[in-house]
Structure 1
Amino acid sequence: ITVQPETVGKPYELKIFAGTQLVDTQNVTDNRAVLIANPDITKLQLRVVGDQIPEAFTVAQNYPNPFNPVTEIRYALPNAADVQVVVYNALGQQIKTLVSTKQEAGNHTVVWDATDANGAAVSSGLYFYRVKAGAKIAVRKMLLMR
């Protein structure tokens, strides 16, 4: 997909859905190609967001929390950065990598469906998500209740 904004330099938000589930949010400016390699994508939503580039790296608490069966993790990047969003169990074992790519400045959302790296459902309990953007790192707790 290539997004060609009507006004050069004006940011747009591209929301990517699989069924009714929000899979990812990408912030797009100018003529930048967005590669979507997920065959389950069913809907794209594009809107103008104005000049809403965050001033600081922030990671919000996941919502909902506690959750079942899915939760959204939101974070803001003041600059483009290599981003990793990883879920860990209470023992500190890595469960799943949700994001591992360079992302543009802006607000981002990723959805975790309470599955591990193999797609198997994980059990109820306490989990942590770690968001790393460049040299900045934030960790938050989340509770899965099946």
Structure 2
Amino acid sequence: YTSPGSGTGTQIKDIPVYHGFQTNWVQEDIDLSTYAGQQILLRFIIKSDDYVEYDGWYIDDIRVYQYSLEESVIKSHEPQISYRFHLDQNYPNPFNPVTRISYQIERANQVNLSIYNLLGNKVSEPVNSFQQPGEYSILFNLNAVSPTPGSGIYFIVLKSGHGQLTRKMMILK
């Protein structure tokens, strides 16, 4: 997720800042016209909290180019991203107390993501909302569930108008 920098601390005002968990490549165009004719250095900095367990990030296909707006015709072609109805295996698994659950929705629909115990009792319902097509990711935190589930096998169930998917996960205490 990208947002403009606030200009406080080490952030440069209005320069993109990325935060949250992303599963897709992000294309970013940054206008450097205010630096035309000057020598510039490009710098990439990653900062993180202690929770991150995945790779940081990847940078690919950096291009610096010059063009004249008066001589250019700009056409915007929005890429067609196709999603499928899919539920990833939670990670980490087994876990205690937090795990990430990621899924994709193929078309706009009411989406329900629930956690069930082996007896079929619903333990938690972290998602129950209308969602647009796309990739989603949530952090499931045992400490937010009351009563706190015990160690054992549980099922993640994703339901939408497209069907139902289930994954098994294990809580270790």
Structure number with the higher helix fraction is: 2
**What is aligned with 1:64?**
92
Unmatched 5+ stretches in structure 2: 4-17, 24-77
Larger CA Rg, structure 1 vs 2: 2
What TM-score do the two structures reach when normalised by structure 2? 0.52
Structure number with the higher strand fraction is: 1
Cα offset, 1:52, TM superposition: 7.0
Unmatched 5+ stretches in structure 1: 4-13, 17-21, 26-49
Cα offset, 1:139, TM superposition: 0.6
Higher relative contact order (CA 8 A, sep 6+): 1
- The correspondence for 2:136, drawn from 108, 111, 115, is 108
**What is aligned with 2:171?**
144
Letter in 1 for 2:102: R
**What is aligned with 1:73?**
101
Q: Distance in 2 between matches of 1:68 and 1:58?
A: 24
RMSD value over aligned CA atoms?
2.6
Q: Give the paired residue count.
A: 102
Report percent identity of matched pairs: 34
Moved >6 Å (runs of 4+)? none
**What is aligned with 1:133?**
160
What TM-score do the two structures reach when normalised by structure 1? 0.61
8 Å Cα contact 2:83/2:134 also seen in 1: no
8 Å Cα contact 1:53/1:78 also seen in 2: no
Cα offset, 1:54, TM superposition: 3.6
Q: Secondary structure at the match of 2:168?
A: strand
